[in-house]
Amino acid sequence: MTEPVILERAGPIARIRLNRPEAHNALAPASIRALARIWQELALDRTVRVAVISGEGVGFCAGMDLKRTDPGFGERGAEAGADPYAALPAEPRRIHYVPPPGLRIPLVAEIHGVALGGGLEIALACDIRIAAHGSRFGLPEATRGLVPGSGGMFWLPRIVGWGQAMEMMLTGRIVGDEEALAMRLVNRLVEPSALLDAAMEVAGRIAANAPLAVQAIRETAWRTAGAGVEEALAVSENQIRVLRLTRDVEEGARAFAEKRVPEFSGR
């Protein structure tokens, strides 16, 4: 049986590949369960410093597979309560396909083709989004009687601004590559042939930095997304206190003085 999501490691970089190309990588129940397991696995793997997520075939992810998947993430048409992973009506979802806020490693989304619905929500939950020319983006849930319930309504306004986000979500409008770049939905656009190299180059630069510092930056940014300035500065100050106790801070200073590349250990 073909794995719906493939996890590979290349040194400190993990590659996550959505693997339902025949369905534009639409999220079936098996895909969602595989992603949930992968987030747990990466959270426990100290050797991984950054992850890149992409889609096989002609698109990143077309969103939820509405022919296969019900809103509780079970098989559509299955008897309620028969699937232990699926939520009952009015019950909170039991698993999630988007990376959890507490995941310690940064994520880079490598986007081509379409990133719609749940596919865009995966990308929005990443820290950096690199897209190929010709990509398209949207949250069309309202046109199907649903809402972007896995982070889209939280992250999109914070990334592109209130007006742009509300227009996209309320109308279900699909935006193209240049518009996505202009509204800062993606960090950069590259030619399709250069997409993998661009994503891996960014991931490699992140992986070369001090792992604990990288984790502290991501944690602080997430924790203070809706905080006031005093709270945000207090969290930042606490991160400095902790990092000053690490070996990597000493290594960074020593390498700078000796004019060499630092060798960070994550300790």
- Please give the radius of gyration of the chain, using alpha carbons only, rounded to the nearest integer: 19
Give residue 36's identity as a one-letter amino acid code: A
Main-chain phi, psi angles of 16, to 5 degrees: -110, 120
Residues catalogued as catalytic: 121, 141
Query: Could you tell me the two tokens for 19?
Result: 């693997």
